Amino acid sequence: MARSMLSILVLGLLARRASAQCCATAAMLRFSCSQLVIERLDPLVSPGVIGSPHNHQIVGGNSFNASMPPVEYDPSKESTCTTCTFSEDFSNYWTANLYFRARNGSFKRVPQMVNLGLEGNGGITVYYIPPYDGKTKVTAFKPGFRMLVGDAMLRTATGMCGGGIRTTITFPTCWDGQNLDSPDHKSHVAYPSTGSFETTGPCPASHPVRLPQLIMGDPTGYGQHGDYVFGWKGDALQRAMDQRCTGTTCPGLGTQSAAQATACTKEQTVKEDVDGWLDTLPGNAPITY
């Protein structure tokens, strides 16, 4: 059973690759952002709160802070280093942590691992994808832009894969062109009105500006969610999308080694044990089903 499922998956991948080759080169930035800090802060959902309800793994620029007000706060100006391979990407990306609960009731954080073929310390794999047709333009995010996808309260398998613990967080790709944020951190962006990003589906009239497809991958459960605060320096991301760069190779864009990326770290603001056995989840977060 397992073997036949695996071969179906492999065939699916081959079919996808073949169809991508037929029509266009599927260009995409794909790179690693190592762990910056494990921390109970959430500048989007709980701005200014020292000790958000649950903890996160944060990656990216080291100016990550409990409060990062839009417009005034540009991570590319506040940060002195980043954990991302692209050395001009000072954005912050964060996701909730997965905990293992032992039979005796104690909890332990499941460590994040760097993706196959990439180097770093934990963290996540980040993708920025321009339309697969090889020509449609996207508008890179603006300084101060942020968004959230997912729902920490979700407890069912709606729209998610039931087979394992790797998730892919796929952000919306259409923007209203005006607001860098919205009260729920979601309404200023939207998914294509028909079709999908992959099929170059049109953006709804309310959100006409086509954004790069931002994807983050890491292991977790249904309540997983991803937060993003844009922080690329200048127009580096726009240039990468316009040039249809792939992987970590992009003329004119700076990169750094895994050693340099992992040297960028940040001290916890909320001092908490992140690796040991715990009697309760950090912040005494309730377990709900």
As measured in angstroms, the least distance from the Cβ of 237 to ligand NAG is 22
Q: Do residues 138 and 245 touch, judged by C-beta distance below 8 A?
A: no
Rounded to the nearest 5 degrees, what angle is found at the Cα of 135, between the Cα atoms of 214 and 138? Answer: 35
Q: Which is nearer to ligand NAG, 66 or 203 (CB)?
A: 66
As measured in angstroms, the least distance from the Cβ of 264 to ligand NAG is 15
As measured in angstroms, the least distance from the Cβ of 45 to ligand NAG is 17
Residues 6+ apart with CB under 8 A from 7: none
As measured in angstroms, the least distance from the Cβ of 178 to ligand NAG is 25
Residues that bind ligand NAG (CB under 6 A): 65-67, 78, 102, 104-106, 269, 277
Residue 198 CA to chain centroid, in angstroms? 18
Q: Which is nearer to ligand NAG, 104 or 288 (CB)?
A: 104
As measured in angstroms, the least distance from the Cβ of 149 to ligand NAG is 25
Residue 117 CA to chain centroid, in angstroms? 18
Q: CA distances (Å), 232 to each of 22, 76, 79, 185, 186, in order?
A: 32, 6, 11, 19, 20
Q: Which is nearer to ligand NAG, 105 or 159 (CB)?
A: 105
Rounded Cα distance between 48 and 66, Å, is: 5
Q: Do residues 150 and 168 touch, judged by C-beta distance below 8 A?
A: no
Q: Which is nearer to ligand NAG, 68 or 129 (CB)?
A: 68
Q: Which is nearer to ligand NAG, 181 or 218 (CB)?
A: 181
